[in-house]
Structure formats: structure tokens, C-alpha cells
Structure 1
Amino acid sequence: MLTVQQAVFTVESLISKVQQQKQLIHQLVQENEHLRHENKQLRKENEQLKYRVQELEARTKKNSSNSHLPPSSDRFHTHSSRKPSGNKPGGQEGHQGTTLHQVEHPHHRIVHRVNTCQGCGASLREVKPFKVDVRQVFDLPPVTIEVTQHEREVKSCPHCRCVQQAEFPSYVTNHVQYGPRLTALAVYLHHIQLIPYKRLSDTIEALYQHPISTGTLANMVKRGREALESNMDMIEDALLESNILHVDETSLRMDGKLAWVHVACTSKYTYLASHVSRGKKATDDIGILPRYQGTMMHDGFGTYPKYTQATHALCHAHHLRE
């Protein structure tokens, strides 16, 4: 039998242990709440990071071939869809090559003569050759700027004293100027081969030993544009009369600012125009789509009437290369 003192001691000991367990339980509950809150925050951050990763992955997979991004934005090389043909590299059997062939009437003829016998030293100048080997070299002629002087006669009629003068060609307008062939070359190299004015100036000086300023080249391009303005009306009319029209826009930087190049084209005609906007205001200002009554192509997957899709990118570059 326990004495009263022992019973009291036992009860107090049990009460102390209960208090300790109670404190421990309270501490564990607090830690559990903290961990649950921390776990909730981590789950939220994890979802945000997953969404961000998906967004970045989708962005890196976009290029000019599967979206409306311009080719200049492509940062990664895409794998070619071409399959191995099994053929050996080079020209295939039956393929017509472009091998040079000798011509019957060359522009120049140079005869390399044998004048002295290397054996005995006798003169061979009067000896006729029993064989002539012929080789032909295709090359560019020496190029240089040629100056053509145009002289216009002015005469006075001895009978009526009326003064008459000849007419200069239509392209001869100044006392000193560049001719139409050099102007056409500058326009071609700048617009078709995309050579900047400074490099174009260096190129012409290197090829023709003639310095020409970038300002002069810019004026040549301006005159070329003015000469082609009449063709723009013809192209615009042809686009408006076509049954199907491909349209698109792509971004570029003009004077350091973002702008847009809009295109409307068929398999034969292409109309390009720049604008600060890509929306309806741009289509209204350019003026082709609001007047177009046919059908426009949408990425090659279908057709849409009128110009309700005018503010969207409607075709890829391969449409323009048809």
C-alpha cells in the first residue's frame, strides 16, 4: 500500500509529465502549422515557376516558320525537314550542268608563237606550225567609268534667221551627271543585293576606280523610285483585281524605332509599304485592303472574306516566294 506522501508524489509526477506532454503537443502543433503554411507557399511558387518554364519553352520554340515572328528574330537553328535521298553528293546522272564550252568566235585572239629552236638555236619564224593547241579563258573585261560628251548643235537659218537646236537625250539633263546604267546598277545593288550606301560607295570605287558619295547614291535610288512610281498604280490595280490575295506584316527598325512593313501580293505582283502601326489604321492608310473585294489567305490553312483579318499576320514568307 502506498502511503499518502507516496501517492501525492506520484500524482504530482504524473501532472508534471502531462504538462510536459501538453507543452510538447502545443509546440508540435505550432511547428505543423508553420510547415503547412511554408508548404502552401512552396506549392504556389512551384506552380508559378512551372507556368514560367512553360512560357519560356513555348517562346524559344517559336520561330519565323511556325509563328508570325520575323526571320531576324530566329535565335536557334531549326532541324531540316528534308530526308536523305541516298544519292551521292554532286551532280546527278542526267543532270545538265553548266560546264564551259569553247565558243566559235572569241572576242580576242592571242597567238603564242615559237620563234627559236631550243635544240639548235635555229630561227623558226618562217616555219609553219603543224598543230595549234587552243585554250579559251572566260573573264571580265577591264572595267572603268567612261565619259560620253553630248554636243548639241545650235544653228541659225540663213533664210528666216530662225534659231534651231538639236535635242539632248531625255536622260541628259545637266552639264555633268551620272548615266542611266550606273544609276541602275546602284539601285540594283542597294535594293536587290541589300548593300548599304557606305559599302556600295566603297564597292563602286574598288571596281571602277571612281569615288562616289553616299549622298549621290541616295539620290540615284530616289530617282529610281520616282521612275517606278507609275508601275505602283499598275501593281495596285492587279492586286485589287486578283481573286486571292496574300497579306502579311513584319517588324523592322526605322531610324531606331519599331515600325512595320506591310505586304500584299499574288504570285506575280508584290506591294510593300512601311507604317508605324500594324493595325487597322495602317491598312486604312495604305489603302489596298479596304478596297479589296476578293479572298485573303490565312497562313495557308483557309480563306477569309473581305479584310476582317487585316490586323492579323495572314501568311508566311513562303507565300511571297510562290
Structure 2
Amino acid sequence: MGRTILPQRDLALLAENAFLRQQNAAQTERIEELENRLKKYENAHTPSSKQGGAGQQPQNEESEQDEENNEAGGDSDAASDSSSGPGRNPGHEGTTRPPPDPDRTVRVGEAYCPECDRVLTDPDEYVSRVIVDIPLPIPTEVTKYELGKQECSCGNEVVAEHPDCPETGRFGPRLLAQTALFRYHGRLPHRKQAKLFDWQLDHPVSPGTIYNMTERVADRLRPAYEDVRASVRDSDVIYCDETGFPVDGDQHWVWTFVTDEDVFYTIDESRGSQVLEDVLGDELAEDATLSCDGWSAYPSYHGKLQRCWAHLLREAKYVAERHEEAKPVSEILHDLHEDLTAFDEEDPPASARERRRAQASLCLEELIRVDYEADEVTQLAEKIRNGLGSWLTFVTEPDVDSTNNRAERALREQVVMRKIFGGLRSETGVRIHETLSTMVATWERQGLDPPDQLTSMLGGERPKSRAETSTTENR
């Protein structure tokens, strides 16, 4: 016997009923929690000074400072709102960075009076202004290193080394670091960087030289790049996404893997689950969570997923604008996500999380139990059905976001560079791009300064791996 197509009104009532049951259960749990907390103040062993919560200020009661502001005509809500917006708050005195100490002083005694066309040469006083500027061309330092070369008693020929003298090329670590950052942080094409060398440094180079400089930097950073890959593999929550990135005119894909500490990029001609195996290993830890969109490669690789609610809500809103029967579906999905997000922010215990997930799952099931007339609405219901085991992972996993926004923000930078550069041309270019993009994004995510980190790694000893760093710190 076929399934019944319910009228629009019945569908809305079913969806609303499911959501209200879920909301009612949540409120019941909250009442029980508050009653249990109240028992601490209403029992035979509670002193009279503590009964009814005496001695504690209710959380919803205005503070004395708020009352004083209100009596004075102030608007505490407005003040609170203004503090989150751009610019200084009303009444707040602005501050200016103090000027640096001057390297030289220039005294100008002559002044011209435009009223009487006279030149005045005997000033009554001097007005000081401190001006910060840079000379052009920017001064460069050229150092000649004379490296001792000798033969060891074992017969091996040895050449002395200096940390600021690179093994290849004639450019030092600070200039190499600046060139790499102009490309992968400032998004400058090679030809524009070559122009800067000519204009600012008075040292003409070709775009090919700029490319070779970034290759040297990438070679130096490749061990650190592999350290980021290893760190991502060990993470409990990984946010993944991918987008097109042409290489030599052929379609490739740039993948990103984001954790609390790292941002990892890799470029591959495949968009399949094999890329996930190459980056994360043949098999991810069973309790690890992948946050992703609905692309089939992710469930093919790993079972524990968090499907992105941002994608679902956008699609539901789009379909609801085109079909009347999808409006209650969209409203219920938006209300459910808002309710679950607020619940998650309260940091409830694990048992409450399990109950709420089961209730929310029933709510989603109510939405897909009905046959819809429009194909787009049917496809939306099918999308909900396909992700039933993955939409609500964040409810029971406190460290998981309900959306995949972390990965999407990381990909946004790649999309901008793709539009500026137009793609890559070779496997060497791929290796340079993914290495430097990964390291710059990871340093920023960790709150480190990319110029300092890059200059240090290029000018000092071989970069230590995370394992070596951890071993040194534990000694």
C-alpha cells in the first residue's frame, strides 16, 4: 500500500507537533534541574540565612552600577551594543600612538607669508612634528661570506656554514621570507613582486627568480608541512572541504583540513576518498569526527560525521521561497537548529545530550515521513534522510560545531588566490603552493607571527619537528 500525500495543513501540524514535543521535553528537563538546585535551599539542614537562596544575587537582577546608570539617564543596553561595534564608545577619550624617537632633527627657520609676499627668517619659536617615512630605494645589506673549506682526516671535504648564508642562491632569509609572504599572504603575482624589487629595492629581478625564491622557501618548510599533516591525523575533530583549483589547465582540487591548531592544504587531481586516505591515513580513529558537507567521499571514508547545518538551512530556505509546502519544513529546521545550538551552549551533561539528540532525531524523522508533491522538496527531504545519522553529532559531542564554517573560511583564501593567479602550472608549483599556504595559515591560527616564524626557520638551524620540540621541553 503506497504512502499517503498529506495536505499542506496536516504537514505543518505534524512538523509543529514534533518540534513542540521536543521543546516541551527540554523544558521539563530544565524544570527538574532547577527544582533539584532549589532543594539545596529548602530542607531541614539549610540555615535560615541561606533559605530561598538568600545572600546570593539573582542572575537576572540588575547590578547597583546598572541602576546608577539608569538613574542618571544612561541606557545600559545601548552602551553594551556600542561596545561591540566599530569605533570608540561615546564619551571615551581617543588615544594616539606616541611618536618614536627621531633619528635626526631638521630645523627649518625660513617661512613664507602669502599675505605680504615676504620670507621670514627669525622665528619666535619652533613647532615640532615627528614624521615617519622610509627611504627609496629601501637600503639593502650585501654581505660576503668566506666559508672555510678543508678536508677532514677521514677524507671528507667540509665547508663551514653560517645560519644567515643560504645553501642556494644569493638572497638572505629576511628577503626570502618577505617574498614568500608577499605571495601567500599579500597575494601578489610573481610579475608584481618583480616590479617591487625594481621600484623599492633598486635590484631588478625576473618573475622566474621570484618563483625560484618561493621554491627554496617551500623546500625548507616541507618538514614542518609534514608535521602539520601528522598533527591533523591525531586530532579528534577535523573540518574538511574542497574546491576546484586548476593545474596546467586541468581540473584539480584543493582540500583543506582544519583543527583547533592547524590548517592543512593539499592539491590533488582527485575529489575522491583516496585523498582522505592520503592525508588522514588508511583508517581514522573510530571516535574522531569529520565535519563536512554532503559530498559522498566523506561517508565512504569514515563513519562518524557531522553534516553542515549551514548548507541544510540555506537549501531549505531556498526551496521554501519556491514552494509553499516547504515553508513549514524550513521553519522547523531553523527553529530546531537554533534550539539545539542554545542547548549546546549551556554545556549540559552527557545524559541530557543523549536525550536531546534522540528527541531531535524524532523531529527530523517527522519531516521525512511524508511524500511531497514538488521534486525540489522531495530532494530536500531525501537530503535530510541521507544524513539522519550525521546531523546531530554536535549535540552529543561538545567539541564539534554544528556547521563546517571553519573549513569554508579556510577555503575562502584559496578561492581568492585562484581568482588572482588563475591556477598553477606544474607539480613543483603545487608543492610550493600547498606548503606555504599551510604554514602561513597554521601560524595565524596558532596566534603566531608569520614573518617572525618564517625568518627564524629560514635563518636558523633545521626546523625541529613537533616531536623533537616536545621531547626538548619535557627534559
Q: What TM-score, normalized by structure 1, do the two folds share?
A: 0.55
Matched, 1:190 2:183: yes
Question: CA separation in 1, counterparts of 2:189 and 2:162?
Answer: 31
Aligned match of 1:204: 197
Question: Kindly tell me: are residues 198 and 135 of structure 1, through their superposed partners in 2, closer, same or farther at Cα, counting changes over 3 Å?
Answer: same
Q: SS of the residue aligned with 2:251?
A: strand
Structure of larger gyration radius = 1
Question: CA separation in 2, counterparts of 1:191 and 1:279?
Answer: 27
Q: SS of the residue aligned with 1:254?
A: coil
Paired letter, 1:267: D
Paired letter, 1:222: E
Kindly report which structure 2 residues correspond to 1:165-180, keeping only aligned pairs within 5 A, or say none: 167-172=160-165, 177-180=170-173
Aligned match of 1:93: 89
Question: Kindly tell me: are residues 121 and 131 of structure 1, through their superposed partners in 2, closer, same or farther at Cα, counting changes over 3 Å?
Answer: closer
The Cα of 1:262 is off from its aligned counterpart by 1.2
Paired letter, 1:271: F
The Cα of 1:175 is off from its aligned counterpart by 9.7
Matched, 1:241 2:234: yes
* Richer in strand (by share): 1
Matched, 1:307 2:302: yes
Question: Kindly tell me: are residues 223 and 95 of structure 1, through their superposed partners in 2, closer, same or farther at Cα, counting changes over 3 Å?
Answer: farther
Aligned match of 1:290: 282
Q: In structure 1, which of residues 266, 272, 296 is the aligned counterpart of residue 265 of structure 2?
A: 272
**Once the two structures are aligned, what percentage of the paired residues are identical?**
18
Which runs of 5 or more structure 1 residues have no equivalent in the other structure? 1-84, 157-164
Kindly report which structure 2 residues correspond to 1:84-233, keeping only aligned pairs within 5 A, or say none: 91-93=87-89, 100-103=96-99, 105-113=101-109, 131-144=125-138, 146-152=140-146, 167-172=160-165, 177-233=170-226
Question: Kindly tell me: are residues 97 and 144 of structure 1, through their superposed partners in 2, closer, same or farther at Cα, counting changes over 3 Å?
Answer: farther
Q: SS of the residue aligned with 2:290?
A: strand
Paired letter, 2:260: S
Does the 8 Å CA contact 1:245/1:295 hold for their aligned counterparts?
A: yes
Deviation string 1:191-216 (CA, Å, 9 cap, x unpaired) is 12222212221232222222111221
Question: CA separation in 2, counterparts of 1:175 and 1:196?
Answer: 23
Deviation string 1:292-315 (CA, Å, 9 cap, x unpaired) is 311111359xx98972489x9993
Q: SS of the residue aligned with 2:246?
A: strand
Which runs of 5 or more structure 2 residues have no equivalent in the other structure? 1-80, 151-157, 309-402, 412-444, 446-475
Paired letter, 1:307: H
Does the 8 Å CA contact 1:289/1:307 hold for their aligned counterparts?
A: no
Aligned length: 221
Question: CA separation in 2, counterparts of 1:204 and 1:98?
Answer: 38
Q: Which deviates the most, 182-191 or 89-98? A: 89-98
Question: CA separation in 1, counterparts of 2:170 and 2:244?
Answer: 37
Question: Kindly tell me: are residues 233 and 104 of structure 1, through their superposed partners in 2, closer, same or farther at Cα, counting changes over 3 Å?
Answer: closer
The Cα of 1:273 is off from its aligned counterpart by 0.5
Q: SS of the residue aligned with 2:181?
A: helix
Matched, 1:254 2:247: yes
Q: What TM-score, normalized by structure 2, do the two folds share?
A: 0.39
Q: SS of the residue aligned with 1:108?
A: coil
Q: Which has the higher contact order (CA 8 A, sep 6+)?
A: 2
Q: SS of the residue aligned with 2:245?
A: strand
Question: CA separation in 2, counterparts of 1:271 and 1:320?
Answer: 9
Question: Kindly tell me: are residues 201 and 281 of structure 1, through their superposed partners in 2, closer, same or farther at Cα, counting changes over 3 Å?
Answer: same
Question: CA separation in 1, counterparts of 2:189 and 2:234?
Answer: 35
